[in-house]
Amino acid sequence: MAVVTIIGSGMMGSALAFPARENGNEVRLVGTHLDRDIIEACIKTGQHPKFERPFPEGVQYYQIEDVDRAINGADMIIGGVSSFGVEWFGDVILPKIPSHIPVLTVTKGLMDTPDGKLLTYPEVWASKLEKIGHKLSLNAIGGPCTSYELVFHDQTEVAFCGKDIKILEKMKQIMATDYYHISLSTDVVGIESAVALKNGYALGIALTIGLNQKEFGIDSPLHFNSQAAIFGQAVKEMYKLLAYQGAATLENMSVGYGDLYVTVYGGRTRLVGILLGRGLSIEEAKRELNGVTLESLVVAERVARAIRVATANGALNEKDFPLLLHVDEIICRNKPVQIPWEDFTFIYQQ
């Protein structure tokens, strides 16, 4: 039996308590300073407020003040914060973790640099730790997995990525179940970039749902031609961006495209895309969603900014990314949704 400490009691971090505990491990779920009400509810009811199924018996719950006690004796730490908690997790939590305990994070996203590069969160955290002379094994989870379906044991395949295959194998042994299947990869940049990029592109696909609702009515049948066309363009643009980062392999792409598929069919990114497609401004859409965190907006803005800088440097061509750049215009410049369909067409002559 291993000891698994999950820091961050949002939906995905909390969902991982299910395979971890059902695999016979001791599981400690720690809320951040923003999760106090969630942890109180878990203590009282044994169930996350957003889940329709209780936690497996034996999961232990901790408020953030007890994080040191929850870390003590752990065999692995799972970082369950959203992308908005990246700085806090890197500055406050990671320095507390002893160097022999590996970290596995669910946080998806990218940071752009002034020279147009894109950094994964493990890279950002490693840089922070290096400045204080601390070193950790930083690993991450990528792949198509929605938290509520994991809780209900829907068959799920993800990828754990990190630099040390032996550490990855150990974490797989701790976490894998008959419904939670885990591939392993030492290409952290590839896997993490693929699953981060899908956020901005899923929003682009969801725009078409809102556009059709605007034209034919909210209760009209779904139209799949337009969704499929945007999906195809998203695949092309994601491939080019992964190649730009030196990570365009079949394994990376399959993880990213699978994650793109599942994100289009559910979750916050789908909702904001639909609202924008209906004609709401980005501020109106945010108000409609009433404070729901929208990581897709952050990813789209950062990647679009990197594309423009890389284009100016001659490393990329803006014409290869009409979809993502239009998404950026909608969310950052309040431009109306006018999908540039003809820009997606191509001529191929062998």
Does 253 fall in a domain?
Answer: yes
Gap between the terminal Cα atoms of the chain: 58
| Per-residue confidence (pLDDT) for residue 293, from 0 to 100 | 62
Same domain, 244 and 329: yes
| Per-residue confidence (pLDDT) for residue 250, from 0 to 100 | 85
Would you list the DSSP string of 239-267? HHHHHHTT---HHHHHHHHHHHHHHHTSS
Last residue of a domain, one of 142, 157, 186: 186
**Whether the Cβ atoms of residue 61 and residue 42 lie closer than 8 Å to each other:** yes
Last residue of a domain, one of 186, 206, 226: 186
| Per-residue confidence (pLDDT) for residue 292, from 0 to 100 | 64
Does 350 fall in a domain?
Answer: no
Same domain, 14 and 149: yes
| Per-residue confidence (pLDDT) for residue 294, from 0 to 100 | 78
Interatomic CA distance for residues 9 and 30, integer angstroms: 6
| Per-residue confidence (pLDDT) for residue 290, from 0 to 100 | 80
- 298: CATH: 1.10.1040.10
| Per-residue confidence (pLDDT) for residue 266, from 0 to 100 | 78
3-state secondary structure at position 29? strand
Same domain, 88 and 223: no
Token representation of residue 48: 């996350």
Nearest to 105 by CA among 134, 129, 136, 62: 136
Classify residue 291 as left (phi > 0), alpha (psi -120 to 50) or beta.
left
What pairing do the DSSP bridges indicate for beta strands 60-62 and 26-30?
parallel
| Per-residue confidence (pLDDT) for residue 222, from 0 to 100 | 86
Nearest to 10 by CA among 268, 282, 274, 272: 268
The type of residue at 91 is: D
Same domain, 77 and 32: yes
Does 349 fall in a domain?
Answer: no
Q: Tell me the residue range of the domain where 121 lies.
A: 3-186
**Whether the Cβ atoms of residue 344 and residue 324 lie closer than 8 Å to each other:** no
What pairing do the DSSP bridges indicate for beta strands 138-142 and 76-79?
unpaired
Residue 350 neighbours by CB under 8 Å, 6+ apart: none
| Per-residue confidence (pLDDT) for residue 42, from 0 to 100 | 98
Interatomic CA distance for residues 323 and 343, integer angstroms: 9
Does 148 fall in a domain?
Answer: yes
List phi, psi (to 5°) of 140.
-150, 160
What is the 8-class DSSP label of residue 53?
A: S
- Show the DSSP H helices in the chain as ranges: 11-15, 17-22, 36-45, 67-71, 86-88, 121-131, 147-151, 165-175, 188-216, 224-244, 250-264, 268-278, 282-288, 295-312, 322-333
Sign of the Cα pseudo-torsion (280, 286, 290, 292, in order) = positive
If one counts the domains in the chain, the total is 2
What is the 8-class DSSP label of residue 344?
A: G
Same domain, 171 and 200: no
Last residue of a domain, one of 186, 208, 224: 186
Same domain, 113 and 164: yes
- 17: CATH: 3.40.50.720
Per-residue pLDDT of the chain (350 residues; tens, 9 = 90+): 999 999 999 999 999 999 999 999 999 999 999 999 999 999 999 999 999 999 999 999 999 999 999 999 999 999 999 888 999 999 999 999 999 999 999 999 999 999 999 999 999 999 999 999 999 999 999 999 999 999 999 999 999 999 999 999 999 999 999 999 999 999 999 999 999 999 999 999 999 999 999 999 999 998 899 999 999 999 999 999 999 999 878 888 899 999 999 999 877 899 999 999 999 999 999 888 886 667 889 999 999 999 999 999 999 999 999 999 999 999 999 999 999 999 999 999 99
